[in-house]
Structure 1
Amino acid sequence: MENMKSEIVIDLHTHILPQMDDGSQDVNTSVALLHLLWEQGVHTVCATSHYYAHQECMEQFLQRRRQAVFALGDALGEAGVEEYPSIRLGAEVAYFPGISQCPELEQLCLGGTRTLLLELSYTQWTPQQVEEVASLSLDRGYQVILAHPERFSHMRSYWNDMERLMSLPLALQINADSLIHWSSRKLALSLLSHAQSPLVASDCHNLTSRPPRLEKARLVVRKKLGADILTRIDETALRFTQPTGG
């Protein structure tokens, strides 16, 4: 396998924090996930646990996240782990009506940035939903990353909505598994090649059904689309994790 570990790789979408969501269920799994990501050449990991506004208030989510971070830090210390990716805190924010007017939304961005990882709904998108994404980007000044847009292609108005979304200054984040599996690869590669700001992330949840496969996915991108787009992906990741005013 071609060695790409000299590149600075940022994984912008992971569920590595223990007992936060349907991702890592204990600190041992979290430590193992970080080890696998490090072995795959990942320099920085964004811990983006699911946030659902209809399930809990933001302060409760942030408190749970702080506790998970402390638990993971203790586990890394006890395990004597010295080499692992640096961790940036954020959230995978599920769309909710009125999100573009939420005054506390910046607390869910990647630490020190106005970068928001946004998951659109799995039901039919409405014109309001698409326009709120536009407002987040154009009016509120957020650097929006659309999480795994390839997952929504079953929707009736998908391509019309995606045409509107792709005209905005936002990033499209494709999941590594979508690039690896043949049934989703064609669409994933097409979205990457047409995105203004392309991203690839692991969206890893566990060590079994959804482990990190970022290295393998990057090899697929290199083979199918060329090395230049990997450079664009890495440049996009650096730009979207750059601290505000940095």
Structure 2
Amino acid sequence: MKPAMDVVIQLKRPDCSTMVPKSRTIRGPGQQAFSPDPLRHSARCRLSWICWMTFWAWQGRKRSLAQTLPLGTLSLEGAVALVAAFCPSEWLTATLAGCLYRGEDSPQPSRLDPVPDLLQTATYGPSGADYFAKLEDYLALRPRAPLPSAGHLCGDRPAAAAWGLACSVWPLGGLSFAWPRKSRCFWEEGVAAEFQEVLVNEGLEDAIRAGHEVLFQCDLGFIAIPLDLERDFLQRLRCASQASQASQSASSSF
């Protein structure tokens, strides 16, 4: 077993939404629209280029960050620090309705980044692998959708316990998710969820309340918390969140 590691890293995502002004045209009464002067157009092009370069630099920093974050067993404090720093707020908010779980072999808090296996026949058999391959083709046409070839499944506690020690999961980094609105699972004993019922990046809290399976994809792996440590973890996470909000409020008052 690897020794527990603690790390707290602060990293701000670049916001390019306000860097590039919107393209404008000028139209007078009875006149056709015409483009702004070349100098303004050139300035917009330069700003657009800077924005894209900033975005790709951020992508590179995420890839580098994934290699520096501790992988394997963590202390509870280390797990809380990583989740507070890198778990998307959408996931944190949705888990007020309850947690999502996976069956893992780790009895301690851990950061995991396993190889996706939904397209492997050893997971759900040849028919299951074929279903998820077709689901991949369907989701690939949707913007920001998770892909079975790069994602993992999670669900309620009983379903997770069938695969190992039930651990609540906390994705790190950029997140996308999908879940079947009518069916409890994507694939269960040969019964497949229809593609048209799959919701993408919406209704996560509803999925948790209904006990439905969720396919998620994230950039930096995920934190797994065993059941016997979940209550303590959640209490510490709430304290860390309240401390962060208080710090932000204090800094904004100056």
Q: TM-score range by the shorter chain?
A: under 0.3
TM-score after normalising by structure 2: 0.24
TM-score after normalising by structure 1: 0.24
